[in-house]
């Protein structure tokens, strides 16, 4: 899958993604532009503004934050001061340190942002990466933004107990129900739903295999030598560089 750092791709009619380690997505909603997640550094604000102007040619009127990690909210205050409405899950509100970047509009389970003849659907799928995790669906373009619920093979779950592991399966299963031709994640290349399905299988296999090896007395180093990254995932973004080993270590230490 082509991935050029800093390249802007129109992934569906009126939906763009600036591909990077930290992706930024936006869509034309007639009266203005909605931006999904606002980068890790404020120095990116003029870069994104220029690309939004070049592609959609309209002002940023809404921000949707998929969750409240620092690498997804940096430009909130800048665009909020310029008039954008910040939309995020209700669990985000108390966490903000800058009042100008706080959510103006929150939701519990779902929210629909409607403007012109387009609707953007936000669904809360939280509880694994962060409490706030939400996905954003652009139905007219069949584009789904799943943020950090997918990390090109990296396990994004932050707590390791049965409840959270079950929730990860539930969340990925729900994502697979969407009618999406293109999927956007928080970091790295665009993907397809097939990648989410493959990831779920890899996740299930690793979570089953590693504790078994551990119980049979294998050390972490032995497990790493035995459990290879799946052959059909070798070209996944940075998987073999460090993610697979990190996953084995996470599960070995946690379960
Ligand atoms: Zn992130």
Q: What is the 3-state secondary structure (H, E, C) of 32-72?
A: CEEEECCCCCHHHHHHHHHHHHHHCCCCEEEEECCCCCHHH
Q: Which residues of the chain have pLDDT under 50?
A: none
In tens, the pLDDT along 66-78 reads 999 999 999 999 9
**Centre of ligand 1 from the C-alpha of residue 217, in Å:** 35
Strand (E) or helix (H) holding 80: helix 76-81
Query: Of 165, 95, 178, 101, whose CA–CA distance to 136 is shortest?
Result: 178
Note the pLDDT of residue 215: 95
Distance from residue 227's CA to the centre of ligand 1 (Å): 27
- pLDDT for 100 equals 77
Measured between alpha carbons, how far is 248 from 87 in angstroms, rounded to an integer?
36
pTM of the model: 0.96
Span from the CA of 219 to the centroid of ligand 1 (angstroms) = 31
Tokens of 83: 């008039």
User: Ligand 1 center to residue 224 CA distance, Å?
Assistant: 26
Q: How confident is the model at residue 93, as a pLDDT?
A: 73
Residue 187 Cα to ligand 1 middle (Å) = 7
Report how far ligand 1's centroid is from the alpha carbon of 149 (Å).
9
* Residue closest to 154 by CA, chosen among 193, 194, 202, 191: 202
Residue spans of the domains in the chain: they are 8-192
DSSP secondary structure string for all residues of 145-205: EEETT--TT-------SHHHHHHHHHHHHHHHTS--SEEEESSSS-B-HHHHHHHHHHHHH
CATH of domain 8-192: 3.60.15.10
What pLDDT sits at residue 16? Answer: 98
Task: Look at residues 7, 2, 27, 5 and name the one whose alpha carbon lies nearest to residue 16.
Answer: 27
Rounded to whole angstroms, the Cα distance separating 34 from 8 reads 16
The strand pairing partners of 36, in sequence order, are 25, 64
- Would you state the pLDDT for residue 97? 58
143 Cα–ligand 1 center, Å: 19
């Amino acid at each position: 899958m082509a991935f050029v750092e800093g390249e802007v791709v129109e992934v569906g009619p009126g939906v763009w993604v600036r591909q990077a380690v930290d992706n930024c997505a936006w869509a034309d909603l007639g009266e203005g532009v909605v931006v999904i997640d606002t980068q890790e550094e404020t120095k990116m604000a003029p870069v994104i503004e220029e690309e939004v102007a070049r592609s959609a040619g309209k002002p940023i009127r809404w921000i949707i934050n998929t969750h409240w990690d620092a690498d997804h909210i940096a430009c909130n205050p800048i665009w909020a001061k310029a008039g954008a409405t910040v939309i995020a899950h209700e669990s985000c509100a108390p966490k903000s340190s800058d009042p100008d970047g706080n959510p103006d509009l929150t939701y519990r389970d779902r929210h629909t942002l409607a403007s012109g003849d387009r609707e953007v659907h936000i669904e809360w799928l939280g509880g694994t990466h962060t409490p706030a995790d939400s996905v954003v669906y652009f139905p007219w373009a069949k584009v789904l933004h799943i943020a950090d619920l997918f990390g090109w093979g990296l396990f994004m779950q932050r707590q390791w107990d049965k409840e959270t592991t079950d929730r990860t399966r539930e969340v990925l299963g729900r994502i697979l129900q969407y009618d999406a031709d293109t999927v956007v994640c928080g970091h790295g290349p665009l993907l397809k739903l097939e990648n989410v399905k493959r990831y779920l299988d890899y996740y299930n296999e690793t979570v089953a295999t590693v504790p078994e090896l551990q119980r049979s007395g294998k050390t972490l180093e032995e497990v790493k030598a035995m459990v290879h990254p799946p052959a059909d995932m070798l070209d996944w973004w940075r998987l073999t560089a460090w993610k697979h080993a990190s996953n084995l270590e996470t599960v070995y230490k946690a379960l």
